[in-house]
Structure 1
């Protein structure tokens, strides 16, 4: 459900093994024109999940991870 909530503005996604205390590690390839929509979806998701969860966003990162 978490990935689906962020999928709207995504061109491609890549699921990786979670690290440390994380339960989810996913990379999203987002076109620059869709960046604001993606960030808004991420904020809404973080608000819905509440204080029990920490949503961390790193980027932008190089797109070569998706090749």
Structure 2
């Protein structure tokens, strides 16, 4: 697996993940990227919890204070 990062500014971060099956048999690879948010919300109290959703060829993260990523 190869992970490449590019950053043009404080709000501009790109990550490219390239994975190859090096085994002898053909197989599907499933990748699950990890995104970390500092836990500043509460399960009780109405503070919004960050969310993830799939878009065209990407994953969109939404956070109440820092906005979409």
Larger fraction in strand: 2
Q: What TM-score results when the alignment is normalised by the length of structure 2?
A: 0.31
Larger fraction in helix: 1
Q: What TM-score results when the alignment is normalised by the length of structure 1?
A: 0.32
The structure showing larger relative contact order (alpha-carbon pairs under 8 Å, at least 6 residues apart) is: 1
> Which of 1 and 2 has greater Rg?
2
